[in-house]
Structure 1
Amino acid sequence: MVLLILTYLYFWWMVIKASAHKHVSREKVTNRTLTASLAHAKRKGNTHRFLIQITTKGGALSVVQRGIDNVLAGVARYPVLQKVVWVEIITEDADEVAALQTRYRNAVIPVTPYLLPTDYRTPKDTRLKARALEYMVEQHRATPTDSYVVHYDEESVFTPDNLARLVHRLSRHPVGISEGMISYGLDWNETTLLNKAMESNRPFGCHECYSVMTSPPPMHLHGSNLVVRQDLENQIGWDIGNLDGSALIAEDLVFGLAAYLKFGKNVFGWHHTEMIEQPPFTLKAAYKQRERWVFGAMQALAHIRQQPDWMRLSRKDRWHINVIIRLRVLTYALGFPVSLLALGSNVVILLILAAEAIREGTITVVAPELTVYGIITTIGLVLWMAGTQLGLFYNLRYTGMSRLQKLRDHVLVLVVTPFAGVIDTAGPLVAVLKWLAGIREVAWKPTPKLAVEPKQQPKRVAAAEVAAGEKAA
């Protein structure tokens, strides 16, 4: 419990540090501002073109279209972006390629879908998402451009204003490899209450992402809202191989560590632009997602230590990477038994006090050891629940909900947070146990992006609706 309290104190320090540096931009940007920023970048010889690259396995076409439509809405609001922004999609679904070609044939910017060949293999036998990313790298190596590659998952969205902020920021302050915060307010009311509580931990934890990217080496990396200068990405590549024949599922972390091994810390930074995504819709999907995160981190650490460049790092860097990744995994996994213990013991204590009150008509002070334990667990609970509430605040900003609806969610999430913590940490604990048992491969299936089956799916949130949520935020 003490270790977890220290962990939460650390994350609250990350909140203070990131907030002090305005880690999420709310800067007002106009078309005139963008024009000046792009002209500045051109004079300085800095990269000032932006390729939005969406990676999807297929099966969530309407979600992909939502992301593209918001890019087009941004270009419509800021016409100067027509000269510097375009979209590429890599998918394994031939029907979706045809549908995208038809839908965006007359778009004001190029929107180009690519079909990942079923027989495509990389030299290192890379699999899963990294295989698709490496295929796109090969296309870009053949016809390179001086641009940033802005990585989207299939559900990712930049609001029109945030797209403008990204272009403005990197035109003025170029960074080789950068990230920004992600919140999870899309399709918010399609998920369960427990999922809402779990997903609210993520923006809270993402304050640490600022420190990770500004003080590398990167101990974790988002696969989306990741912006990489194309020439660097072409040098690093996504052909990450595998771990003793098992597919690597944390391609983003492996890529970040590989970039650090190759280029050092100076290529990393923070672009201050928030991306919006959606939460898992079921408890099973959330559980599997968290199991993959932790298992992937352990795979990535084992893999990177096998690389020839590993020993070129200083002893301090090697120690830092080894210890911090393991410590993150350990504290996440230990959250399960601690959550159960804290939840169960406090329930027992409350029941004892209630029984005494009914029997005696009074409540006496509990035993000293229970008082100390109660103080410690209460501190931990307050830090935890306050962090969840802060993350929920970020998640609700782009939902378009009224203040009363947001207040309702804050109250409901507060009530279920202790129970959600048990589910949130169960997957990480199972991942650690599997790893300790010698298992090096985990079943991988992308988190479902549709709340219902495709034939029954409701209308997706349109670009105009996301923009309305943006104004409300």
Structure 2
Amino acid sequence: MIDHVLLLYAIIILSYTPLGLYQMFLVARSVILLRGLEEKQYPKLDVKNKLVVAITTNGNATDVVEKIIATTMGYGLDLRMYVIKEESDTFRYSCQEIVVPKDYQCAHGSRNKMRALQYGIEWMGGNGLGKETYICHLDDDSMVSKEYLEYVIDSMTEEGGQGSIRLREFGRSLFSSLADIVRISNCEAWCKHFNIWDRPKFVHGEGLVVRADVEKEIGWDFGTYGAEDLMMGLEISRRYRFGLMPQGNIWIAPPTSVRDFFKQRRRWFWSIFRNEGKVRGLSLKVYLMYVYLYIAGVTGIIGFLILPYTIIFAPALTPHLAPFWIINTACFYIYYQYGASYHGSLRVSALLLFLQLPVAFYEGLTIIYSLVTRPDFNTFETIKKV
């Protein structure tokens, strides 16, 4: 029995080591080569780009959407703002509205957010938005900084791009907020490294910038449960260029409850594995990367559960395995703390350091939750927005 448990633990340790070391490479590259991108001076275009900021909402967070509109318009930039909303949403927003008709249908049967996005780009294309205009997409809980939008207007030449995430409204759900810090790590490590080389791996709906004619050409009518943002990024990269937004940031709010956190992660999980093979068809490497990351999450939970057992029988661990355990532990803690360093609070960094194991377990449990409680694939699960 002891031998079998220790063998399992050895497999778990060795399976994480490649990921841990690779993430340390990405962190080191970001720190050494990519820090300071925001302060760099970028060439100004002879003719500035036109810019539209589009917020897609289902009408359940009208106060938050109004806050986003006020903040964005308060930057004083030359841009237009649209809210893409359903016909059932009777709230009057303080910017131009694109109302999705109740009877509107997509050719490939897309529903919910994808349906709204598809109607939105058709409407904008029909109203003259083309090659000279970029669209910055926001969810109804996300904001982007003034510098982010200034870069799009003054300097952007790639057909698509995305920048880095930061957290706002931190702490409404402590564990959810601490777990979301790893999203900062992912953006600063993975996104910066790969976006700068036109090879997107993580693409999120918040702050995604696409040139209007390219967005209309590709369309949002993927007809899947989700992953539309990832597929859009991969399609742009396959046909044109997908770059890094080097200035400014995207501000998101972590889920406000445990239930919402688990629902959100479940939607992300099934978006990758229930898209009729479209992500796999666009990039097998990206698909396998997500498979590996989710496997690492599951094995991490197992390792956490059998950790007390292995501690009791620690002498049975071979000297050859101990260095890998030390390396994995160091990589694990450094990666989380790397994201926390961008949050800019020593208190949060210390809190995360103290709670990092249970936070990782909390996040890993969402995979188990996703497997045993499948969502309704005909609807788009939403969470409370703040």
TM-score by length of 2: 0.85
Displacement after TM superposition at 1:209 (Å): 1.4
**What residue in structure 1 maps to residue 3 of structure 2?**
none
- Please, which of 154, 166, 170 is the counterpart of residue 149 of structure 2? 166
Task: State the AA in 1 paired with 2:63.
Answer: S
**What residue in structure 2 maps to residue 280 of structure 1?**
255
In the alignment, is residue 201 of structure 1 matched against residue 182 of structure 2?
yes
Task: State the AA in 2 paired with 1:418.
Answer: L
**What residue in structure 1 maps to residue 348 of structure 2?**
409
**What residue in structure 1 maps to residue 325 of structure 2?**
377
Displacement after TM superposition at 1:93 (Å): 6.5
- Please, which of 6, 15, 19 is the counterpart of residue 3 of structure 1? 15
Displacement after TM superposition at 1:326 (Å): 2.2
Displacement after TM superposition at 1:128 (Å): 1.7
**What residue in structure 2 maps to residue 60 of structure 1?**
61
Give the alignment of 1:30-429 within 5 angstroms. Answer: 37=44, 40-42=45-47, 48-75=49-76, 81=77, 84-92=78-86, 97-98=91-92, 100=93, 104=94, 111-145=95-129, 146-159=132-145, 163-168=146-151, 171-184=154-167, 186-192=168-174, 194-206=175-187, 207-242=189-224, 248-261=225-238, 263=239, 266-272=240-246, 273-300=248-275, 302-303=277-278, 321-341=283-303, 343-348=304-309, 352=312, 367=315, 369=317, 372-394=320-342, 396-397=343-344, 406-429=345-368
Q: Of the two, which has the highest radius of gyration?
A: 1
For structure 2, the 5+ residue unaligned runs are: 1-12
CA contact (8 A) 2:190 2:202 kept: no
**What residue in structure 2 maps to residue 359 of structure 1?**
none
Task: State the AA in 2 paired with 1:5.
Answer: T
Structure with greater proportional helix content: 1
RMSD: 3.0
Distance 1:234 1:2, change over 3 A: same
Distance 1:64 1:28, change over 3 A: farther
Displacement after TM superposition at 1:231 (Å): 1.2
What is the percentage of aligned positions where both structures have the same residue?
22
Deviation readout 1:261-309 (Å, 9 max, x if unpaired) = 4x1xx4211111311111011222222222222221223461356xxxx
**What residue in structure 2 maps to residue 445 of structure 1?**
381
CA contact (8 A) 2:114 2:221 kept: yes
**What residue in structure 1 maps to residue 4 of structure 2?**
none
Describe the SS at the equivalent of 2:135. Answer: strand
- Paired with 2:309 and 2:322, the residues of 1 have a C-alpha distance of 12
Task: State the AA in 1 paired with 2:183.
Answer: R
Distance 1:326 1:168, change over 3 A: closer
Describe the SS at the equivalent of 1:241. Answer: coil
Describe the SS at the equivalent of 1:367. Answer: helix
Task: State the AA in 1 paired with 2:27.
Answer: V
Displacement after TM superposition at 1:16 (Å): 2.7
Equivalent pairs counted in the alignment come to 370
- Paired with 1:135 and 1:414, the residues of 2 have a C-alpha distance of 45
Displacement after TM superposition at 1:349 (Å): 5.5
Deviation readout 1:316-362 (Å, 9 max, x if unpaired) = xx7xx224412322332332233332x34443465x49xxxxxxxxx
Displacement after TM superposition at 1:131 (Å): 0.6
Distance 1:62 1:17, change over 3 A: same
For structure 1, the 5+ residue unaligned runs are: 76-80, 105-110, 243-247, 311-317, 354-365, 398-405, 451-473
- Paired with 2:210 and 2:173, the residues of 1 have a C-alpha distance of 32
Deviation readout 1:28-72 (Å, 9 max, x if unpaired) = 99xxx9xx94xx431xxxx51110100111111121122112112
Displacement after TM superposition at 1:129 (Å): 0.8
Distance 1:57 1:25, change over 3 A: farther
Distance 1:304 1:135, change over 3 A: same
Distance 1:230 1:446, change over 3 A: same
- Paired with 1:121 and 1:61, the residues of 2 have a C-alpha distance of 25
Displacement after TM superposition at 1:217 (Å): 4.5
CA contact (8 A) 2:98 2:123 kept: no
Distance 1:165 1:130, change over 3 A: closer
